[in-house]
Amino acid sequence: MPPEQLETDRVDRALGELPARDVDPWRREQIRRKAHAELRRQAELARRPWLARVAVAYDRVLEPAFVAGVSFAYLAWAFQRVSEILAR
């Protein structure tokens, strides 16, 4: 059996052991697909150590820096516009 199938079976068993909740079938399928996608991502990162380092750098450094930069630029623009409006 391919490793992906074993992983899928393991996830399905683990998800089946979770307590039942009042979740509609659409939401349940969406959650299952997200869990499978994350497990595939983690398996891919485990096979390629350099990719794992890149993912960590992106998640911990690049993305937060980008969000902070965009937020700062927007706030600077907003304060400038407000000060122009109030200066009239």
- pLDDT tens per residue across span 12-46: 888 778 777 677 889 889 999 999 999 888 888 88
pLDDT computed for residue 6 by the predictor: 66
Tokens at residue 52, please? 């794992």
Helix axes 25-47, 3-17, angle to 10 degrees: 140
What is this structure's pTM? 0.51
Number of C-alpha atoms within 13 angstroms, CB side, residue 58? 6
Q: pLDDT per residue over 60-81, tens digit each?
A: 999 999 999 999 999 999 999 9
Q: Distances in Å between the alpha carbon of 80 and those of 83, 86, 88?
A: 5, 10, 13
Helix axes 49-57, 25-47, angle to 10 degrees: 120
Sorted by where each begins, the domain ranges of the chain are 1-47
